[in-house]
């Protein structure tokens, strides 16, 4: 059995263009195994209302294990208001069950629900 918590506070430096997101997750196994902590920082710059470029870094630490890191880039296109389609590539990566971002090495595609865009 494992106790897991995670959160992703968002800091929007310049609402019209630059978006910064941080995330922190931790897992404490109730079986006596070592706790795990995962963190991530991502930045996305909106070139215009429909296209953004981004980069991100993340790390996973477990007591008694080596530090695992992630470093990647991504591009987002908004096909229609409120929805983003993001394609990216992680040059460095790792496998994690705590995921709030794609952490494995290699290419990925994800869909983003842009709620703040709908409510503006």
The per-residue pLDDT string of the chain (120 residues; one tens digit each, 9 = 90 and over) reads 556 555 555 555 555 688 888 877 777 777 777 788 888 888 999 999 899 999 999 888 887 777 888 999 999 999 998 899 999 999 998 876 665 566 788 999 999 888 765 444
Q: What does the H/E/C string look like for 59-77?
A: EEEECCCCCEEEEEEEEEE
pLDDT score of 119? 44
8 Å CB contact between 48 and 29 = no
Structure tokens at 120: 């503006």
Structure pTM?
0.74
What lies within 8 Å, CB to CB, of 84 at 6+ separation is: 52, 76, 77, 78, 111, 112, 113, 114
C-alpha span between 50 and 29 (Å, rounded): 42
């Amino acid at each position: 059995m494992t106790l897991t918590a995670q959160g992703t506070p968002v800091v929007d430096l310049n609402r019209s263009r630059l978006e910064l997101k941080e995330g922190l997750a931790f897992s404490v196994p109730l079986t006596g195994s070592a706790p795990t902590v995962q963190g991530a920082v991502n930045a996305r710059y909106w070139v215009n209302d429909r296209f953004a470029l981004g980069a991100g870094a993340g790390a996973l630490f477990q007591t008694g294990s080596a530090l695992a890191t992630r470093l990647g880039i991504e591009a987002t296109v908004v096909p229609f208001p409120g929805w983003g389609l993001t394609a990216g590539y992680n040059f460095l990566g790792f496998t994690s069950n705590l995921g709030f971002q794609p952490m494995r090495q290699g290419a990925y595609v994800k869909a983003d629900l842009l709620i703040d865009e709908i409510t503006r």
